[in-house]
Amino acid sequence: MIAICLLSWAWTNFSIDSRVYQQWRDQSDVWIKAGVQETVSKANFHSKSRLLVLDGDHVVGEIRPNGSFIVILQSRAASAASYWVQVQASRDRSVLEATRSRIANQFPDHRLELFRSENGSMMTLRVGPCDSRTEAGLLQSKGAKAGFTDAFLVRQSTNSPFAWVDSQYDKFPFESNKLGLVSADPETPIGYGDRSYRGILWFRRKGNQFRVINELPMETYLRGVVPSELGPKVYPELEALKAQAVAARTYAIKNMGKFEESGYDICDGPECQAYFGAGVEHPLSDQAVAETKGLVLTYNHELIDALYTSTCGGETEDSEHVFNGKAEPYLRGVSSYVIDREVYPLPCLSPKGTSEVVSVQDLQVRAMIIGFPSPPDLNGELKGSDLSLWLKYCGWILALDEAPQLSAKTMSFASFWEVVSQLPAIRDAVAHQVKAADVSMRLTEKERNGKLHHLVNLLMRYEILTPAMEDDMFSSAVLTRVDAMTLILRLCEGFGPEPEWSKYYVDSVKGNTLVLVRKERERTVDLSRVAACLTKSGGAYQFLNQPQVREGDIIYILDGVLSRSMLHIVSNGLVASADRESAFNYWIDKKSVEQLEERARRYIPELRGIRSVRVVSRSETGRVTRLEFIADSGKHQVTGLRVRWALGVRDTLFDLIPAYRNSRLVHLTAVGRGWGHGVGMSQVGAFGLAKAGWNFEKILKHYYRDVSLVPFDTLIQGN
């Protein structure tokens, strides 16, 4: 196999570029090589800047701005020739091209190709290739007869798997095994797929594919790591990002060379630490990297293995319980229950007319969501005038320009549906969407004559009505307001838009103003303009009366239909840990036994026929350290990280709720907290502590016990 690069190529002398390149490399003492993305057989690279092509440490080519650089793998016969006859050399490419055109017909069985010298200043015209020196000698004699008396044999090196092809499709083998690409402007990254990278991109062959390796200064690398690991748009706290920068720097330096056999130091995924390149850089995380430049964590004057986890669920874990290795003294389990959240009372009162019956409150809330200005009175029987008013409020959903004017007479089920059937949008849908043959599928000839049966067909088709509701449509029984509102809501929710709730987090309450945040966006809510505060339990809405909220609580806000907002308050699972802002502070995972076995067999290949699953042991923090599968194939145990992997859950801080049938497991529910391995710094916990006023050093020394924060260069000098 040979890797070939297709370029928009510019030929020049690159000695100056080589010196500038070397000066740029010398600016940073610590460089790191990150293996990026997956191995590929073809890749396209581009940049707005001029790109320099590297053969080892020498600049040997240039790609003009907005040009392209394509690396592919192409089959090459194992017996490929390596002998060529050099017929001419020149600094002027046009001279060689003219000669090639003139003599091409004299060598019909061979190629005439241009090659460049090692320093890039000279080009040569060669004829070949030849399978042997003898064949090349015959070709040399033929060249001499053609006037090239000084032609000589060249054995072309085949040590390098790389060659480049210029815009004229001339191929130039590389002298070394190192093909690289670097931007002439360090501030302009190189695009690769949907990402972009600063520094140098090297290409390393791996079997029938190749891996792209990004080599760059450590501090530049961290600009792509910190926002990949702790997004500043979601977690915009500088001190938390500074803690992340120090942890990531320490981890990277400690683990440099981990993948040395593959040609790089560290990977770009969860096995190491996330690195998405220059495209995720953000001013706040850049500031965090800059303000902690060179700082690392040590224990007894040695770099620590600065592990970190997304969300610890309130408690981090001792390292040996997860990684089945050495009990690192600085990686001890610690609590994230170390801060108090300020409580903010909201002046939301239950709206006038709120029912004390929970099921009725749910109807009242849903009515306000679709446009009612206040909770409707649902006591007693429905009158025509009630229905007129209700249709006025929700007419925007049912395409009503004007609600029908009905009398104050009590309405029956049948008269209610008669009114609905005459609403223009409903009437048109029935006429165009329902045919007699559709109705006949369920009804007798006599029943088909009822004009409401077409409406029944339409509403049941979209599950707005259930079969149990069908008979009531023709009933002369008096319709209660509760039943009528239930039907109105089924119509409006079935045909209308989904409510557009916007998710925010509580930041603070200042006077009568609620301050909400989401990513980098802040929103203020005038509490005097709030129509109602809500909660939801068991799928049913309820009004809240003077609720209390804490920083980090989730609030969904509904705008649009009403001039006043509605607030749906979520108390973040009623947890008080520093990482409560995480979406994975608590979770539930459900699997059928078939899904569970498919997952578990990735890590226990011999597993067959799961009968039950049980927790064998836990750590002091409550995390599962050993899990057992009892199966037809026997008993199988997993420990450490494999507990989480085999079960397919986010963390090992979980409890199991199994469902059995005939003494065999049929379903398994896991309820748990946290996301990740649970060891070291909790990233979202760091965010919570930063919001509470902790600085980055205090955060780091909380999660990593008895460590020191030192500049890395002093650590080098000390050794």
The closest alpha carbon to 361, from 484, 543, 209, 509, belongs to 543
Q: Which two tokens stand for residue 64?
A: 């003009």
- Looking at residue 707, what is its pLDDT? 98
Question: Within this chain, do residues 198 and 67 fall inside the same structural domain, yes or no?
Answer: yes
- Looking at residue 5, what is its pLDDT? 52
Question: Within this chain, do residues 192 and 253 fall inside the same structural domain, yes or no?
Answer: yes
Please give the share of the chain, as a percent, with pLDDT higher than 70. 89
Angle between helices 696-703 and 683-691 (to 10 degrees): 140
- Looking at residue 171, what is its pLDDT? 58
CB 2 within 8 A of CB 76: yes
For 595: left if phi > 0, alpha if psi spans -120 to 50, otherwise beta; the answer is: alpha
Q: Report the alpha-carbon distance of residue 370 to residue 372 in Å, rounded.
A: 6
- Please tell me the least confidently modeled range out of 41-55, 209-223, 579-593, 619-633: 41-55
Question: Within this chain, do residues 622 and 556 fall inside the same structural domain, yes or no?
Answer: no
Per the model's pLDDT, the better-predicted residue between 437 and 169 turns out to be 437
In the predicted structure, residue 575 carries a pLDDT above the cut 90: no
Residue 363 counted as domain residue:
no
- Here the CATH number for the domain that contains residue 109 is 3.30.70.1070
CA distance between the termini of the chain: 44
- Please tell me the least confidently modeled range out of 95-109, 172-186, 531-545, 688-702: 172-186
Q: What is the mean pLDDT of residues 538-544?
A: 92
- Looking at residue 394, what is its pLDDT? 93
- Please tell me the least confidently modeled range out of 148-162, 569-583, 587-601, 646-660: 148-162
Residues in the chain: 719
| Torsion angle defined by CA atoms of residues 230, 231, 233 and 236, in that order, rounded to the nearest 10 degrees | 20
Answering whether pTM is above 0.85, one says no
Question: Within this chain, do residues 252 and 195 fall inside the same structural domain, yes or no?
Answer: yes
Q: Report the alpha-carbon distance of residue 173 to residue 161 in Å, rounded.
A: 8
Question: Within this chain, do residues 116 and 183 fall inside the same structural domain, yes or no?
Answer: no
Average pLDDT, the chain: 87
Question: Within this chain, do residues 186 and 228 fall inside the same structural domain, yes or no?
Answer: yes
Question: Within this chain, do residues 414 and 387 fall inside the same structural domain, yes or no?
Answer: yes
Structural domain boundaries enclosing 619: 587-673
Residue 607 counted as domain residue:
yes
Cα angle 694, 699, 705; round to 5: 145
Residue 227 counted as domain residue:
yes
Please state the separation of Cα 454 from the chain's center in Å. 48
- Looking at residue 11, what is its pLDDT? 42
- Most confident option among 72-76, 377-381, 566-570: 377-381
Q: What is the pLDDT of residues 444-495, one digit of tens each?
A: 444 544 668 889 889 988 999 888 887 788 889 999 999 999 999 999 999 9
Q: What is the mean pLDDT of residues 660-678?
A: 96
Q: Which of 546, 574, 602 is the last residue of a domain?
A: 574
Going by pLDDT thresholds of 50, 70 and 90, the confidence category of residue 28 is: confident
Q: Which residue has the tokens 């709730």?
A: 501
Per the model's pLDDT, the better-predicted residue between 377 and 83 turns out to be 377
Residue 520 counted as domain residue:
yes
Residue 376 counted as domain residue:
no
- Looking at residue 441, what is its pLDDT? 74
- Please tell me the least confidently modeled range out of 149-153, 218-222, 571-575: 571-575
Q: Which of 456, 473, 495 is the last residue of a domain?
A: 495
Question: Within this chain, do residues 475 and 510 fall inside the same structural domain, yes or no?
Answer: no
Contacts of 19 (CB under 8 A, 6+ apart): none
Residue 162 counted as domain residue:
no
What total of structural domains would you count in the chain?
A: 6
Residue 358 counted as domain residue:
no
- Looking at residue 88, what is its pLDDT? 87
- Looking at residue 1, what is its pLDDT? 42
Surface-to-core class of residue 274, CB atoms within 10 Å of its CB (0-12 exposed, 13-18 middle, 19+ buried): middle
Going by pLDDT thresholds of 50, 70 and 90, the confidence category of residue 10 is: very low
Going by pLDDT thresholds of 50, 70 and 90, the confidence category of residue 443 is: low
Q: What is the mean pLDDT of residues 138-143?
A: 84
Residue 579 counted as domain residue:
no
Going by pLDDT thresholds of 50, 70 and 90, the confidence category of residue 23 is: confident
3-state SS record for 81-127: CCEEEEEEEECCHHHHHHHHHHHHHHCCCCEEEEEECCCCCCEEEEE
Per the model's pLDDT, the better-predicted residue between 431 and 449 turns out to be 431
CB 585 within 8 A of CB 572: yes
Q: Which of 272, 287, 302 is the last residue of a domain?
A: 287
- Looking at residue 405, what is its pLDDT? 94
Question: Within this chain, do residues 109 and 252 fall inside the same structural domain, yes or no?
Answer: no
Going by pLDDT thresholds of 50, 70 and 90, the confidence category of residue 176 is: low
Going by pLDDT thresholds of 50, 70 and 90, the confidence category of residue 562 is: low
Eight-state DSSP code of residue 49: S
Question: Within this chain, do residues 215 and 251 fall inside the same structural domain, yes or no?
Answer: yes
Question: Within this chain, do residues 414 and 507 fall inside the same structural domain, yes or no?
Answer: no
- Looking at residue 137, what is its pLDDT? 86
- Here the CATH number for the domain that contains residue 549 is 2.40.50
- Please tell me the least confidently modeled range out of 25-39, 159-173, 576-590: 159-173
Question: Within this chain, do residues 274 and 313 fall inside the same structural domain, yes or no?
Answer: no
